[in-house]
Copies of this chain bind each other. A is one copy, B any other.
């Protein structure tokens, strides 16, 4: 049985070297540069290493190599399923390239951000992927410029860092244009939290589409929200109670769109017959929704993957120029959008 090696105390290269009657240099080479060592010694070393269950201490290696081979992904909210797939994409690429991934959920707390910044400044991770839209507290712009940092999903024009984004304005406009093309004239927007740039961008797209369609901008149709189901439900209830209620709602994300659908159903309206709803993101929720949600799909996994690519490329080929990649979205038509009912 070519077992995985003995247990007991961990062995170092020196142990292997002693047992094999060679120097640590030879052991190192035998294991990492097999061609630089005679076949006989190579096999001897491998055998002994196996027998001892030797595993190179990665920290020693990292110190010497001056590289941790790992990335830090900073997220506001770990529980948001939107991020999970992004992380997955990044992790996949990282793995391919022999990097590991540290995930940090900050919950928006400065202290926590500062803590993670320390990991970066302390060289424990060598690249940073930010899904938070801003630099973590304790990390100045200058410091960010020193190492690879990539913003994902949420832009920050002030920072001018590398970024992987989608055209939120454009696709929000597209969503609204889709509703308009079907005949909707009273189109509402359920906003995201205004503190976040993506929310402002999506609202901007909404406004732009309205104006391009020659529709009046009615502030009453812009409902404040925060991406949550419950707020979406309440805001929609208010919209539907308007004297001249909307026939369609473009929601800033999927979760709040489900809230909108629920609100409609609760007052006896049918979706999509009486109210069309369109979301943004295409998370798992969109499929589970009843009826299934029409939404804008962001290529989440790809976004994570590209971000990891960028960071690792910068690490390997020097900083290079600061690229901004804009990835394509897609309008996924399911069953919450239809032409408006004829005026009664």
Q: What residues of chain A have their CB less than 8 Å away from a CB belonging to chain B?
A: 3-4, 7, 10, 53, 55-63, 68, 70, 78-81, 84-85, 87-88, 91, 95, 100-105, 112, 115, 118-119, 121-124, 138-140, 142-143, 145-146, 229, 255, 258, 262, 265, 284-285, 287-288, 290
Contact = CB atoms under 8 A, between A and B. Distances in A.
Given A78-B88, A115-B95, A59 B123 contact: yes
A88 to B, nearest CB: 5
Contacts of A102: 70, 100-103
Nearest to A73: B103
- The SS class assigned to the A binding surface is helix
Tallying the copies of this chain within the complex gives 2
A279 B81 CA distance: 20
Nearest to A70: B102
B59 A124 contact: yes
A70 B125 CA distance: 12
A37 to B, nearest CB: 22
B288 A265 contact: no
Given A59-B124, A79-B84, A140 B4 contact: yes
Given A95-B112, A143-B4, A265-B290, A121 B55 contact: yes
Given A81-B79, A95-B115, A57 B265 contact: no
A79 to B, nearest CB: 5
A265 B290 CA distance: 10
Contacts of A112: 95
Contact of A122 (B4, B7, B57, B124): B57
A191 B174 CA distance: 42
